[in-house]
Structure 1
């Protein structure tokens, strides 16, 4: 299941389930020559971090092996947030995704009904035709 979780994590890194969040500066900050006063609201974008080629080389390529061993540095893989505000449902979501994937793979063969379907980005990638698939139970 470790490899399955790495695949799921890579998919969520490339297409994060959340866009980001707002935070408030609790002290005055100078970041690369820009002054951010205490109290200002900041917006962090998960997509910009997870697709940063300095953090994840070949960032748009699906490479489940990049999450093996120690994995990415802290606060670089932020699909579920991080630190004291990390998603409380992370482990439940993990279990749910792994069980779903396991059942889907073990019990069904599936194929895309529109193999070259186009996507729109508003603000998340959305298949134009809803990504229809055909599921057929395995014949044991």
Structure 2
């Protein structure tokens, strides 16, 4: 299941379960030349770091091995599929078990194939299959 979890991690890097979130500025601050007054609401988007080539080499490429024995560790608060800090999802371990169970059952009980293997992925703002990713599913065994 270790590799299966790496696949899930890579999927969540490319298509995060939470696109981002709102935070309120607790004090006047500046960021990269922008002044953010106390009380303003700011929006952070996880794809800002998840798809950053300085953090993840070849970010557009699907590569689950990037989460194995990393030569260059992922900086804190850069990989955020379950949030971070005090806003970290308390259900993350349940989500992990649920994800692994679903993938295991889906792979073992069904054969599936893409109807349009050359379908492109667009970003609007999240990654989205241009044709909706239609698939054909065939049960592998009798489930009774």
TM-score, normalised with respect to structure 1:
0.85
1:105 aligned partner? 107
Structure 1: 5+ residue stretches without partners: none
Matches within 5 A, 1:48-87: 48-69=48-69, 72-87=74-89
Q: What is the total number of aligned residue pairs between the two structures? A: 140
Q: In the alignment, is the contact (CA less than 8 A) between 2:122 and 2:129 conserved in 1?
A: yes
TM-superposed CA distance for 1:3, in Å, is 1.2
Q: CA RMSD in A?
A: 2.2
Q: Summarize deviations over 1:15-39 as a string: whole Å, max 9, x none.
A: 2122211101112222233322221
TM-superposed CA distance for 1:6, in Å, is 0.9
**C-alpha separation in 2, matches of 1:5 and 1:95:** 9
Structure 2: 5+ residue stretches without partners: none
2:16 aligned partner? 16
Q: In the alignment, is the contact (CA less than 8 A) between 2:14 and 2:127 conserved in 1?
A: no
Q: Summarize deviations over 1:104-135 as a string: whole Å, max 9, x none.
A: 11122211122223455444333354322222
TM-score, normalised with respect to structure 2:
0.83
TM-superposed CA distance for 1:138, in Å, is 3.1
The DSSP-based 3-state class of the residue aligned with 1:6 is helix
